[in-house]
Amino acid sequence: MMSMPSNALSRRTLLGGGLAVAGAALLSARGFARTPAKLPKRTRAPASGEKAISLAAQERPFRLLGAEAPETAIWTYGPEPFHLVRLARGETLSVDFENRLPEHTSIHWHGLRIPNDQDGVPYVTQAPVKPGERHSYRFTPPDTGTFWFHPHCDTAAQLGRGLAGVMIVEGDESRPYDEDIVVVLKDWRLDEKTGGYLPFSTPRGELRAGTFGTVRTANAAIAPRIALPAGGDCRLRLLNLDSTRIGSLGFEGMEAAIVAIDGNPIAPFPLHEWRLGPAMRLDVVVRAPASGAEGRLMDFFAAEPVTLATFVGEGEALKTGSFDPAPLTASDIPEPKTKGAERLRLAFATASGGKAALAIDDDRDPLANALLDSLCSASKTNWSMNGQSWPGGDHSNVPAPLFTLKEGRSYVVELSNETPHVHPIHLHGFTFKVLNSTRAELPVHYADTVLLTPNDRVTIGFVADRVGAWMVHCHLIEHQETGMMGYVRVV
Ligand code: C2O
Ligand code: CU
């Protein structure tokens, strides 16, 4: 049985306003189990076969500001914003991708543990897909859950125009929920009179917490009303696909429990307030309001909490007993050894001229010093990782890898934040276990992106089980694009 306070004010008081990882204090009072509770085993056999889809990146005008307002020239992969791809665990996805944009692009499959040559990073894992060209992707996602896909060069502008899709790999439920709804959170930088864009990056934003959108949306609508079956236990897949904003998400008027983080199942625990940074996902089960009643998805981070979406109960009440949502079934992410694992340290800092110059040319890496084009490099370098920045030295080349790892080995990495800003740190290709944080009280959980708050040191562990060059970067896109990006090579 789960219960939660319903008063947002008491939550804020307890959390102390601007606390870096809100939710932490309150949750710690309840105590996170250091050893995660056991999840039920999967009973359904994996599917087989192949699902073939076509995606075309193209401009498709859309009324983001409302039915009467001017259109915005958004970029999407399919007929609707945040095109949804659903497949079953075990199914192979084959994608015929066509670039109908005026500039080159590629598709990175965020959070999927797939082979490196399908990872979609221009110059690192594939050639850029030029305007008018096609490219095929083919892979079998090993994990169930809520994922997404997006470009990997000129990301502030391409993602800023909406170029992102959602991928759901089904087969993780132990009992079916009464509803399954995707909620994509994204802000847009719009001139509200014309529907046109404001600059996606600003020098001030690049150097600080990023440039924020002016129009907040859920599923490309401003504070939409979404119907839920009254009294049902409904799965809401929350995705933060914004380039900048870190939400502090919670619900009013509905009980809610977290059942997966970045697609990875975790034993259900009450959601009070959870900081969801760019690229992060949270699967939540809510008890839908009674018929005609409302519940709200809120961002509590601002002094004045913001309603992101309103949920309205419809029909006969489905459930009347206490809220005890079904857990998802266990995934099979390889468990990193912590004893005997190799320990590494990755420091996130501003780029000082001196430090950036320390970047070592690694002639043994085939990528280091590969030349980048202007969409994949930036003329400014604000940030660094272990003293190295992306692009390397003269702003045109791929730098040396941050680390060279051995295939099959476990690594424990301490991520340390030496800046006064929050960074959502993402590692491609591997799902890591968040073992510890010196500042945030977090449950031990699996993730592909973790928030690093100022002065925090977060320890993650993972098994480097696939060879290749795997990007690691801040997912606050203006940080990523002004230096806070690198890669590890697994050999
Ligand atoms: Cu969401 Cu480098 O990726
Ligand atoms: Cu950052």
Type and span of the H or E element at 160:
helix 155-160
Q: Ligand 1 in contact with 279 (CB < 6 A)?
A: yes
pLDDT at residue 394 in the model: 80
User: How far does the centroid of ligand 1 lie from the alpha carbon of residue 2, in Å?
Assistant: 34
User: How far does the centroid of ligand 1 lie from the alpha carbon of residue 220, in Å?
Assistant: 21
Give the C-alpha separation, 470 to 489, whole Å: 6
pLDDT at residue 35 in the model: 55
Look at ligand 1, atom 1, and give the residue with the nearest C-alpha.
Answer: 110
Spatial CA neighbour of 39 closest among 419, 327, 463: 327
pLDDT at residue 126 in the model: 98
Full strand arrangement of the beta sheet holding 92-99 = 72-76, 50-62, 92-99, 134-139
Give the C-alpha separation, 375 to 378, whole Å: 8
Q: Ligand 1 in contact with 110 (CB < 6 A)?
A: yes
User: How far does the centroid of ligand 1 lie from the alpha carbon of residue 236, in Å?
Assistant: 22
Q: Ligand 1 in contact with 234 (CB < 6 A)?
A: no
User: How far does the centroid of ligand 2 lie from the alpha carbon of residue 417, in Å?
Assistant: 9
Strands (E), 333-456: 342-350, 383-385, 403-405, 410-417, 423-427, 432-437, 445-447, 449-452
User: How far does the centroid of ligand 1 lie from the alpha carbon of residue 110, in Å?
Assistant: 6
User: How far does the centroid of ligand 2 lie from the alpha carbon of residue 382, in Å?
Assistant: 10
Full strand arrangement of the beta sheet holding 264-270 = 215-218, 179-188, 233-240, 281-287, 256-261, 264-270
Q: Ligand 1 in contact with 218 (CB < 6 A)?
A: no
Per-residue pLDDT of the chain (491 residues; tens, 9 = 90+): 444 433 333 343 333 333 333 333 333 333 455 556 789 999 888 999 999 999 999 999 999 999 999 999 999 999 999 999 999 999 999 999 999 999 999 999 999 999 999 999 999 999 999 999 999 999 999 999 999 999 999 999 999 999 999 999 999 999 999 999 999 999 999 999 999 999 999 999 999 999 999 999 999 999 999 999 999 999 999 999 999 999 999 999 999 999 999 999 999 999 999 999 999 999 999 999 999 999 999 999 988 999 999 999 999 999 889 999 999 999 999 999 999 899 999 999 999 754 444 445 556 788 988 999 999 998 899 999 999 999 987 889 999 999 999 999 999 999 999 999 999 999 999 999 999 999 998 999 999 999 999 999 999 999 999 999 999 999 999 999 999 999 999 99
Of the ligands numbered here, which is closest to the C-alpha atom of 474? 2
What ligand 1 atom has the least distance to the C-alpha of 150?
A: 1
DSSP string, 84-143: EEEEETTPEEEEEEEE-SSS-B--EEET----GGGS--BTTTB--B-TT-EEEEEE---S
Q: Is residue 60 within 8 Å of 79, Cβ to Cβ? A: yes
What ligand 1 atom has the least distance to the C-alpha of 471?
A: 2
pLDDT at residue 9 in the model: 36
What ligand 1 atom has the least distance to the C-alpha of 428?
A: 2
Of the ligands numbered here, which is closest to the C-alpha atom of 240? 1
What ligand 1 atom has the least distance to the C-alpha of 110?
A: 1
pLDDT at residue 43 in the model: 84
User: How far does the centroid of ligand 1 lie from the alpha carbon of residue 475, in Å?
Assistant: 7
User: How far does the centroid of ligand 2 lie from the alpha carbon of residue 108, in Å?
Assistant: 19
Q: Ligand 1 in contact with 166 (CB < 6 A)?
A: no
Residue-wise burial string across 225-262, b where 16 or more C-beta atoms lie within 10 A, e elsewhere? ebebbbbbbbbbbbbbbbbbbbbbbbbbebbbbbbbbb
Of the ligands numbered here, which is closest to the C-alpha atom of 384? 2
Q: Ligand 1 in contact with 471 (CB < 6 A)?
A: yes
Give the C-alpha separation, 394 to 407, whole Å: 31
Q: Ligand 1 in contact with 473 (CB < 6 A)?
A: yes
User: How far does the centroid of ligand 2 lie from the alpha carbon of residue 479, in Å?
Assistant: 5
Stated pTM of the model: 0.92
Residue-wise burial string across 160-198, b where 16 or more C-beta atoms lie within 10 A, e elsewhere? bbbbbbbbbbebbbbeebbbebbbbbbbbbbeeeebebe
pLDDT at residue 36 in the model: 62
Q: Is residue 101 within 8 Å of 81, Cβ to Cβ? A: no
What ligand 1 atom has the least distance to the C-alpha of 121?
A: 2
Token pair 């009324």 in the structure block, residue = 63
User: How far does the centroid of ligand 1 lie from the alpha carbon of residue 203, in Å?
Assistant: 22
Q: Ligand 1 in contact with 281 (CB < 6 A)?
A: no
Q: Ligand 1 in contact with 12 (CB < 6 A)?
A: no
Q: Ligand 1 in contact with 474 (CB < 6 A)?
A: no
Give the C-alpha separation, 245 to 159, whole Å: 13
Look at ligand 1, atom 3, and give the residue with the nearest C-alpha.
Answer: 110
Q: Is residue 488 within 8 Å of 402, Cβ to Cβ? A: yes
Q: Is residue 419 within 8 Å of 349, Cβ to Cβ? A: yes
